[in-house]
Amino acid sequence: MAPVCDLDPGAPHGKTVLGLRVVAWYDRAVDEWRVFDDACPHRLAPLSEGRIDDKGRLQCVYHGWCFDGRGSCQFIPQAPALGPPVHKNSKACVASYPSVVQNNILWFYPRADEEHQDILQRKRPPFIPEIDDPSFVTVYGVRDLPYGYDVLVENLMDPAHVPYAHKGLMGKLRKKEDPGRVEFDVEGGGPVKMKIAEADIAGFLSEQDNSGYFRYVAPCTFYGSPLPKEEKGQV
């Protein structure tokens, strides 16, 4: 969803992730971040345009409906106090996704049905130990790009495009060793030496000739390091 440092616990935050319009908000009752559908079940107003009320609930900006951390409606201002408890109707609930903070990043699982409510006890998000290691400096960057994560990951794993797609941005690249070659271009493209040390359906590990490595963990986690994996404590 987002690095926690980018989120204000005093306000809801809307975002589109994997085609889902979701809202993240901080539930003071349990000191946890929540991720909901970004649509009030009443008139589909975006809950990200709402606020956190004085009781710590997510309040819709349109008619003031209030929701707790489970997505249950707790208060409908227009409903008579002595009337039927319409706020308890299942149609007054908003979909709540399993969510967790790990590596100071808010993650959520994009299924809100009952069978997936305990998914984070069975399957955790990718864990990157260096982010929690105080000897490393962590810089978070978030960009909205008009294509899928699979295209981006494939791009990151493609060093051959760098001297051309990023011409002039990466400094002077040394010419690649290629016995028998008589033509070199000014961009410095050429064969890239790499060794595939591991490869299976879960991803691969590629050791580089400069002692660094690339590791891909399906479906969307990519590590790149100038150090051998033994020095970084990777398994």
Q: pTM for the full model?
A: 0.80
pLDDT of residue 171: 66
How much is the average pLDDT of 166-192? 74
Per-residue pLDDT band for 79 (boundaries 50, 70, 90) equals very high
Are 181 and 101 in a shared domain? no
Residues 125 and 203 in one domain: no
Instruction: Assess whether pLDDT exceeds 50 at residue 234.
Output: no
Quote the pLDDT of residue 191: 80
Out of 70-79, 128-137, 160-169, 210-219, the most confident range is 70-79
Distance CA 67, CA 36 (A): 10
- Residue 176: per-residue pLDDT: 62
Q: What amino acid occupies position 85?
A: P
Q: Are 225 and 232 in contact (CB under 8 A)?
A: yes
What is the average pLDDT score of the chain? 87
User: SS3 for the chain, per residue?
Assistant: CEEHHHCCCCCCEEEEECCEEEEEEEECCCCEEEEEECCCCCCCCCHHHCEECCCCCEECCCCCCEECCCCCEEECCCCCCCCCCHHHCHHHCCCEECEEEECCEEEECCCCCHHHCCHHHHCCCCCCHHHHCCCCCCCCCCCCCCCCHHHHHHHHCCHHHHHHHCCCCCCCCCCCCCCCCCCCCCCCCCCCCEEEEEEECCEEEEEECCCCEEEEECCCEEEEECCCHHHHCCC
User: What does the block give as tokens for 73?
Assistant: 């409606």
Could you tell me if residue 138 is inside a domain?
A: no
Instruction: Specify if 97 maps to a domain.
Output: yes
Note whether 77 and 115 are same-domain residues: yes
Examine the domain organization and report whether 125 and 175 are in the same domain: no
Structure-block tokens of residue 174? 């040394």
| pLDDT classification of 150: cutoffs 50, 70, 90 | confident
Q: How many structural domains is the chain composed of?
A: 2
Residue 137: inside a domain:
no
Q: Is residue 213 part of a domain?
A: yes
The whole-number pLDDT of residue 228 equals: 58
**Top-confidence residue, 150 or 14:** 14
Q: Is the pLDDT of residue 60 over 50?
A: yes
Choose between 162 and 107: higher pLDDT.
107
Which of 41-45, 170-174, 207-211 is the least confident region?
A: 170-174
Which residue range forms the structural domain that includes residue 190? 149-225
pLDDT band at 229 (very low <50, low <70, confident <90, very high): low
Examine residue 214 and state whether it is found in any structural domain, yes or no. yes
